[in-house]
Amino acid sequence: MVLDGARPDYFGLTHLPHVDALRAAGTQFNNAMDGILESETPSGHTTISTGSPPSRNGILGFDWSQNDSDLSLFSPTVVRAGTMEKIMQAAHVPTIASLYKGRYPGARVVALSGHKYYAADPLGGPAADAIMYYQGNDQGRYVPVAIPGHMPPPGVLTAPGVVGASIHLGAGAEDDLATHLALSAFKVMHQRITLINYPEFDWPLGHVDGGIAARQQVIERMIAFDQDLGSIERAYAKAGILSKTLFVITADHGMEVVHRFIPHSLFTDAITAAGTTAPAISYNAGAYIWLADGTKAEAVAGNITHAADPGIQSVYYLDTSTSVSHYVLAPGTNISAGLDAANQYLLGTLMNGHQPSVVAFCTSGATTSPSTTNWKADHGGASWQSQHIPLIFAGPMIRSGVVVDDPAQLEDVATTTLTAMGVRPTGMTGHVLTEALLRSSRAGRADRSQEIKTTTPIVNALIAQDTVESRG
């Protein structure tokens, strides 16, 4: 269950009988992070599904330059044409669906969302039996549809309660429809795995309302989710499988309250002054720039740095002069060695051959998204608030009443989930979160120990920087 853009501090604001019971009966990771760039919906959901970062699975974010043109996953036509799945297949990455169905060939896997086709499609991946999302139809109704090649059996998309009477829905209604659709699929397909994206935590709760700055709206959204969770639990109890069900609650990225908009001209002027152009630029709580002439990357990064915008924390450029391309901190950037190491770790998750030429990270609360959006919160960058996510496991094979403060990463969700379900996460780069499991191997514990050793200084540096920038 992916609460799109939900923050860990959304939990505990009010009593949530179903969520609180899961937290008490399971294992919660307090310092889970995306551990990837961009911290966006397509890349986040692909990482959840594949147990691998963008450098391995091929999905960098919403936009990137490919063959000197802008590839945009925000287009439903592009996603419905199979672009995301083809990229995943070309990367030869396994998914939750492919590995589970490999172990249990007769099992069915369903992935779905509200309006976010770019979340549902990679969450299910090529091996999912049904992948569904919502859109308006020509009668003005909000209806579920399927990604081509992943059509559910007859009756799933037309069952009572799965169609919205209008495209103008009240708060929580879209997520509620997604829950009804999941249960409609379960009634017909009896799927073993259900992967749900709940989009309203991101939009409108995050971007439009301001996320944690809109405390009452957060409480209302969490109460509504708790009710949706209760509906699923009752349906599973009626089917006699509730006690056999593993629940995982997480997010695809964090969310930070916006206090400053950085104009696009800062970046376009820097590009023009360097004598090149940019086939693609991704704007969010960072700026990811693909240059037509990569040899101008250092000059562009320097121009951005010299502009001295207070919303820019650090700028990196891609150095391709050696046998191994790598990012270099632009001269004039004043950050700690620890923060530079954290940024470099995250930048490494972009290195798949289509990585951006220049990356500019914003300070906490700053964004490069257009000011015309009037967004009150954003994500996409390397700040702790963009990276910090909730992560809860509960069910069979999961330890009860455990709270873990050591870091965990988004790529660990698939590996841990599959391991708990008796499936080896072969081919995934994520680590098994052994603290959550009733039984684990010595090799798994050693691997997890190494992950903690690697990621703890990264998390500490991001938290320390967020504390400084939030005060400033």
Interval 328-346 mean pLDDT: 97
Judged against a pLDDT cut of 80, whether residue 300 lies above it is answered with yes
Q: Pinpoint the residues of the chain covered by CATH 3.40.720.10.
A: 2-257+384-456
Tell me what pLDDT residue 130 has.
99
Per-residue confidence band for 471, with pLDDT thresholds at 50, 70 and 90: confident
- Is 230 buried (19+), middle (13-18) or exposed (0-12) by CB count in 10 A? middle
Tell me what pLDDT residue 472 has.
65
Interval 386-394 mean pLDDT: 99
Whether the full predicted model's pTM is greater than 0.95, yes or no, is yes
Amino acid at 6: A
Q: Of 68, 60, 49, which is closest to residue 276 (Cα–Cα)?
A: 68
Query: What counts of helices (H) and strands (E) characterise the chain?
Result: 15, 20
Q: Which fold has domain 2-257+384-456?
A: Alkaline Phosphatase, subunit A (3.40.720)
DSSP code of 134?
A: E
Judged against a pLDDT cut of 80, whether residue 457 lies above it is answered with yes
Nearest-10 Cα torsion for 199, 203, 204, 208: 170
pLDDT tens-place string over residues 414-451? 999 999 999 999 999 999 999 999 999 999 999 999 99
DSSP code of 361?
A: E
DSSP code of 60?
A: -
Judged against a pLDDT cut of 90, whether residue 239 lies above it is answered with yes
